[in-house]
Structures are given as structure tokens and as C-alpha cells.
Structure 1
């Protein structure tokens, strides 16, 4: 047999051997550690690795993929709580940004905000004054009825007179509740506009960065 024929046959044999070797070598390696810390390795998924962190390696030993161990019930609950807290924090950030944009859109200066503050106070302040005036009138009416009742000293007052007293006292109590409600409204307005004024001042200073 001639030399070049021998060389050709030898090359074919080497290529065939390499192809067989490539076919026999695993395309990926599955590995994990058992409960004793021993490393388990296979060319296919291992049943022993279920419920454990698994690593899938390339034939050269480099890491192709890491499959984390399933979370325990406690870890899952902790993760869900953390994710819920993150969603809540993000919602708050979005709400703060929406409010910031609304502030700089509605008020170009602090003076405009102060004008809106005065307007917001008008209704509760006037209602507060009206309730106080109404109480003054009711107290005068109550005094008049009691003065009339002096005629019945030592006797049972007529039903109409007693009903009048009850009606006036109920009216006074209602107006006192109104005063408490309007005072709370005024407190909230003051608190909100104080916070808005501080925030608007910051936003107007840094307005180019808001958009």
C-alpha cells in the first residue's frame, strides 16, 4: 500500500475516534451535595439532588446554570413579606412623585399656594363662626326658658317647657360637635399646607430635575 493511502486511512481513523469520543462525553454535568456534604455528580439529573441546590456544569467544568434549593415555608413567607413591603414602598414613591408633579403644576410660586391656603380655610372657619354664634343664640334661648320655668318653682314643669329645654340642649350639643369637627378640618388644612409649602419650596429649587 502506498504511503499517501496509509496516511489518508490513518487520518480517517483519528477523526472517527475523535467523533466517538465527542459522542461519548457528556454534554452537561449535574452535581449537588448530599446531606453529608459529599458531592454527587452525573451526566443526567440526580434524584438525590431534588430539594437541594443543583449546579449544571459544562464539560470543561465551568458553571452553566445554578438551580437554587426550593424555599422552605418560612423562607417563602419571608420572601412574600419582603416583596409586599417593596411593592408598598414603590407605590408610596409613585404617589409622592404624583403629588410632587401636581404641586408644581398647580402652584408656580409659594404666593399662589398661600392664596389657595386662605381659600381652603374659608369654609371651615366660617362654619366655625356660625356654630359659635348659634350656640350663643341657643344659650340665650335656654336662659329665657329657665327664666320662664322660675314661675313653676317647686312644681312639675309643663311638658312643652321641658321639651323646649331638651331641644335647646340637643341643639347646643350638636353645634359643639360641629365646632369640634370644623376645628379638626382646620387642623388638617394647616398641616397639609404646611407640608405642601415645605415640599413646594424644595421642588421649585430643584424643578429642572423633577421632569
Structure 2
């Protein structure tokens, strides 16, 4: 009976030792030299060496890995800023690829892009043409007003209020039309620049996708595009 009990005890002890060995192997052994020059060994990262590299050793004594020092608040802030910039750059890259796919889907070939350019600029030209026509009409009205003012050339202050009002309204309307035409000319340049920039990108996308991008002759398409 005692012999049987002793065997069970020995078996349990052996099992306990095996478990301890497995735990030690799993946890590893940490070794370092602290700021005071002391060599410290422990079964977990050594707090006294948090500011320097520590070695994690295998039970055999070989180096399993090097444990980096705990970063300072300044280092953590710098790393967080670096990670933030990397995330923003990755997000921009994803967005750029999305825009490229949408651009290529909208303009699968050069002639499609040229046609939309011509339509966009043509619409602006029609608006400018209408405003220019109105400007010409206002100019003719101004001539008639000036003719009426000839009677008061020696003393314009004596001109009747309705005539003065016609002159003010004409000058105001003419100023509005000229400003509107200038704005449309600026819009035309902006649209042209946008299509030029798109074309540069599209040429790259067409080449990468193997799309046929042969241009067609369009009268309103910019030369050399």
C-alpha cells in the first residue's frame, strides 16, 4: 500500500516538473544589464531594464528574441504621428485608385473624352455668345441715349430724370454683362485645364489597361491634345 502511494506521489511530482518545464519554456527567460551594470535574469521582462534592450532566452540559453525598450512618451507620440501619416497616405492611395477607376470607366477611349470636352466648352461658348449679343444691344441703346443727351450737351444736369435713369440702367447692365463674360472666359480656361489634366492621367490609364485611345479630329479640341 505504501509502495503504491509512493509511486503515485512520484508520478505526480514528475508531472508537476513537466508542467513547470513547459511553463518555463512558454514564458522564456529574460536577461539584461541594468543602468548600474547589474546582470538581471527573470521569468518576465525586467522593469529595471525597461529603458534598454532585453534578451529573451530559450531554456537552452540561446537567444529567442530581443525585446525592445519601452518607448518614452515623446517616442510614442512620434510613432503615433508616423502611423497617422502612413494611414493618411494609404487612404489617399485608395481614394486615388477609386478615382482612377471611375475616370477610366467614364472615358474608356480618347474620342469619348474629346467629345465631352467639346460639349462642355461649346455650352460655355453659347452662354458667352448670348451675353455678347446682349452687350451689343446695350451698346446700341447707349447710342440712342447719347443722341438724346445731345440736347443737354451744354448742361447735362438739365437732362430729365427718366433719361438719366435710362443712362444709369444701361451702364449698370453693360457692366454686369462684361463681368459675366469675363467670368465665363475664366470658367472656360478652368474647364480646359481640367480636361488637360484628365487627359494626362487617362493616357497612363489607357496604356496600363490596353485600351485603344486613338484621338478623333474634333474642330473644337485644343491643338496638340
- Tell me if both proteins adopt one fold, taking TM over 0.5 as the criterion: yes
**1:105-132 deviation digits (Å, cap 9, x = unpaired):** 2233211221111112122111112222
Q: Which position in structure 2 is the counterpart of 1:119?
A: 119
Task: Tell me the secondary structure at the aligned position of residue 177 of structure 1.
Answer: helix
Q: Which position in structure 2 is the counterpart of 1:140?
A: 140
Q: Which position in structure 2 is the counterpart of 1:3?
A: none
**What are the equivalent positions in structure 2 for 1:1-20 lying under 5 Å apart?**
19=17
Task: Return 38-47 or 107-116, whichever deviates more.
Answer: 38-47
- Over 3 Å counting, the alpha-carbon distance change for 1:136 and 1:155 in structure 2 is closer
Higher relative contact order (CA 8 A, sep 6+): 2
1:70 is aligned to 2:54: no
Task: Tell me the secondary structure at the aligned position of residue 70 of structure 1.
Answer: coil
Stretches of structure 1 that go unaligned for 5 or more consecutive residues are 1-11
TM-score (norm 2): 0.66
Task: Tell me the secondary structure at the aligned position of residue 139 of structure 1.
Answer: helix
- Over 3 Å counting, the alpha-carbon distance change for 1:96 and 1:165 in structure 2 is same
Q: CA deviation at 1:140?
A: 2.2
Q: CA deviation at 1:197?
A: 2.3
Out of 168, 174, 177, the position equivalent to 1:175 is: 177
Q: CA deviation at 1:142?
A: 2.4
Stretches of structure 2 that go unaligned for 5 or more consecutive residues are 1-9, 212-225
Mapped partners of 2:33, 2:149: distance in 1:
96
- Over 3 Å counting, the alpha-carbon distance change for 1:46 and 1:102 in structure 2 is closer
Q: CA deviation at 1:31?
A: 4.6
Mapped partners of 2:65, 2:48: distance in 1:
20
TM-score (norm 1): 0.70
1:109 is aligned to 2:109: yes
Mapped partners of 2:186, 2:141: distance in 1:
28
Mapped partners of 2:72, 2:143: distance in 1:
76
Mapped partners of 1:183, 1:167: distance in 2:
24
How many residues of Structure 1 are paired with residues of Structure 2 in the alignment?
A: 189
Mapped partners of 1:207, 1:45: distance in 2:
54
Q: Which position in structure 1 is the counterpart of 2:85?
A: 85
Mapped partners of 2:165, 2:72: distance in 1:
72
